[in-house]
Structure 1
Amino acid sequence: MTRQEAFARSRATSRSISRRLVLAAVGALIAATAILPGSAGAQEYPSKPVRIIVPFAAGGPADVYARFIAQRLQDALKQSFVVEDRPGGGSLIGTEAVAKSAPDGYTLLMMSNTHTVNESLFAASAKPYQLMRDFAPVAPINYSDLVLVARPGLQVNNLGDLVKLAKAKPGTLTYASSGPGTPYHMAGELFKAMTGTSILHVPYKGSSGARTDVLGGQVDMMFDAVPTMVDFIRSGKVKALGTSGKAKSTVMPELPTIAEAGVPNYEAVIWLGIMAPANTPPAIVNKLNAEINKIAVDPEVVSAWGKKGAIAMKMTPAEFGKFMNDDIAKWAQIVKISGAKPDQ
């Protein structure tokens, strides 16, 4: 090979290598740009309908507020947000469906403190996901006090009467819940543990079934969210015995808190939030968080929710994650103290 031929071959090789390096650099730049918070992918989201899966029955707070949030996200982002109820298994069925969905922001979970309770109520082997491993926190929605109500025919007029009756007839009275691990279940177990009473738990597949049977007199009592029970209380269809918050309900200030009525330090609430499958792009998570927070602080929303006893919550994804970790720890202690089981 002549010197000229060698030189020409060397130049051709160099050009080929340079071209490959340039193409590789361009490819890396495109890939990096795709995951930046301000990238086109996040700006274009959502480009197709988004599903919000509710792992609880229709008619309960999670379903009601999922539809409320979905409509406003749809208005703000100009794309359909469709609510899909998938109850069953103490919320495990619908939650697992979201955990197995693509982490692209098009399948979201409407969750509650049922999920933080379930982290300790169910053995790890009985639960097909781990909440903080398999999901990304997006944003909280709101929280509400619970109210303890009794069927009209039950011979009690206040909380003291109920405790006396339950102690006189251990294991005879019944309380309904929307299923194992739900706020209604854990509020009942906490009440039993703190009053030293034995009351039979009757779990349902959703709060609407539990509510219907208390209203119909088939079950003696239940804890329910103030927003969904207030109209039944005011119409005399159930007896309200006390609310579960630290302070009196602004919706029903005439009712004592359970702590005031004779169970010191009693407190239990229901809160709701949105999560996405783990590894959903942070840009999408942040976009959803920003839009949900806008809804939560809207004066009309704050007023409408407040009239029903629901208080808006606003947090960053990181703050919401810490909030949930703290709630998991709190309920783990209560599960242990109460001896609550998923099948009881």
Structure 2
Amino acid sequence: MSLHVPRQRFVCVLFVLAFLAGGSAWSQGTGATAPVRILVGAPAGGSTDTMARAVAHAMGQQLGRTVVVDNRPGAGGNLAAEAVARAAPDGQTLLMSFTSHAINASLYPKLAFDPVKDFTPLTMVSTSPSVLVAHPSLPANNIAELVALAKAKPGQLNFAIGALGSSLHLAGEAFKLKAGVYIVNIPYRGTAPAVQDVLAGQVELMFAAVGNVQQHIRAGKLKALGVTSPHRLSTLPDVPAIADTLPGFESSAWFGLFGPAKLSPEVLRTWSDAARQAVQNPDVRHRIEAEGATAVGNSPQEFARFVVTDIARWRDVVKFSGAKPE
């Protein structure tokens, strides 16, 4: 016996099925199939941008999604952070932030967001200790000699500062606070001109990212006095830790991935797992290490605790520095 379906009813069934399929696709148009954006509060080409792009590519491959990097530089990363804080908690908008996320909590009298309550930490991507470098003419070859020289000549030595309020600026402030010395800050608009003036001997000292000065150290154009990590770095094995002379001193930049507050457990798990797997990807680790950083990939809970601790750690340094937003 054959089954006969009237033409009008058959067309109606097809229409309903098409509508349901279309409705499902439309509902995913702002969800599973729409590009995910990782906002970066720094210009393209810098360390934060480089790491964000490496992680975004690996996450996209894992999840079969399009993940794009959206650069929103300005206000020490606050413009990008504010946009993510206001975004819907659907996993479509994420933030690749850096140490300024913690510093800005004390540096800016008023923020348009809460750096803890308005975000969901996903994972710390990497940490990047810096190195204290000096022009070869400086009559100090280690931290003890530098502290003695600075105490003998208060206000006569200078730190080149690539960006006021940055982790490198505040590494210098933490050093002065710990050593009890007075060294004058010379601000620049960017790391590159600051490094050039130290190379030229216009300024004696600078805290710099390892990746920015490593070649100059190897060429003998700068001398490295100490690294800001608790122990020596494999990339600079002959350079002692500043903490060897000033116990307890530590100042490392960090880079981490956040979502807006109130992500659902499922969305949090999806993106945190993807980010942590991305950090372990050999290509991503290579890109991270090329920036002079160390891959981390910790849990959301560990990262959340770190952010709270880091905000408190920088509070006294910011107060001591007297730094104000530019």
TM-score range, shorter chain: 0.7 to 0.9
Q: What is the aligned partner in structure 1 of residue 53 from structure 2?
A: 67
Aligned counterparts of 2:126 and 2:311: Cα–Cα separation in 1: 18
Aligned ranges for residues 218-233 of structure 1 at < 5 Å? 218-233=202-217
How far off its partner does 1:302 sit?
4.6
1:101 Cα deviation from its structure 2 partner? 3.4
Matching residue's letter, 2:323: K
In the other structure, the counterpart of 1:163 is 147
State how far apart, in whole Å, the 2-side matches of 1:58 and 1:308 are.
14
Query: How many equivalent residue pairs?
Result: 302
Corresponding residue of 1:268: 251
Deviations 1:200-243 (A, max 9, x none): 22344544454444345444322122234323322333221111
Cα 1:104–1:91 shift into 2, 3 Å = same
- Compared CA separation, residues 112 and 51, structure 1 to 2 (3 A): same
Larger displacement relative to structure 2 (212-221 or 132-141):
212-221
Note the 1:101-250 alignment, pairs <5 A.
101-123=87-109, 125=110, 127-204=111-188, 206-250=190-234
- Give structure 1 stretches of 5+ with no counterpart: 1-33, 35-40
CA positional deviation for 1:307: 7.0
Q: Which amino acid aligns with 1:250?
A: S
TM value normalised by structure 2: 0.79
Distance verdict in 2 for CA 1:285–1:210, change over 3 Å? farther
Describe the shift of the 1:208–1:72 C-alpha distance in structure 2 as closer, same or farther (beyond 3 A): farther
Partner-residue secondary structure (3-state), 1:252: coil
Equivalences for residues 297-336 of structure 1 within 5 A: 297-298=280-281, 301-302=284-285, 305=288, 309-336=292-319
Query: In 1, distance between residues paired with 2:34 and 2:195?
Result: 36
Tell me: CA distance 1:253–1:61, structure 2 relative to 1, closer, same or farther (3 Å). same
Q: Residue 107 of structure 1 aligns to which amino acid in structure 2?
A: T
Deviation for aligned residue 1:137:
1.1
Which amino acid letter does the alignment assign opposite residue 222 of structure 2? V
Q: Which residue in 1 is equivalent to 2:236?
A: 252
| Distance change >3 Å, CA 233–CA 136, structure 1 → 2 | same
Is the contact made by 2:165 and 2:325 (CA closer than 8 Å) also made in structure 1? no
CA contact (8 A) 2:143 2:242 kept: yes
Higher Cα Rg, which structure: 1
CA RMSD, 1 decimal: 3.1
Residue 269 (structure 2) aligned to one of 286, 293, 314:
286
Quote the Cα distance in structure 2 between the aligned partners of 1:327 and 1:319.
12
Amino acid at match of 1:277: P
Aligned to 1:132, the other structure's residue is in SS state coil
Gaps of 5+ in 2: 1-23
Instruction: After superposition, give the CA deviation of every residue in 1:258-316 in whole Å (9 maximum; x if it has no partner).
Output: 122x3232111111101122234443332111111112234565566457653222333
> 2 CA distance for matches of 1:85 and 1:178?
20
Deviations 1:62-107 (CA, angstroms, capped at 9, x unpaired): 2221222122223323333333333332322332233333433333
**Corresponding residue for residue 10 of structure 1:** none
Contact 2:161 2:194 in 1 (8 A): yes
> What's the secondary structure of 1:145's corresponding residue?
strand
Give, in whole Å, the separation in 2 of the partners of 1:214 and 1:49: 43
TM-score, normalised relative to structure 1: 0.76
Distance (Å, rounded) in 1 between the aligned partners of 2:39 and 2:195: 22
| Identity level (%) | 38
CA distance in 1, matches of 2:186, 2:173: 12
> Distance between the aligned counterparts of 1:206 and 1:98, measured in 2?
25
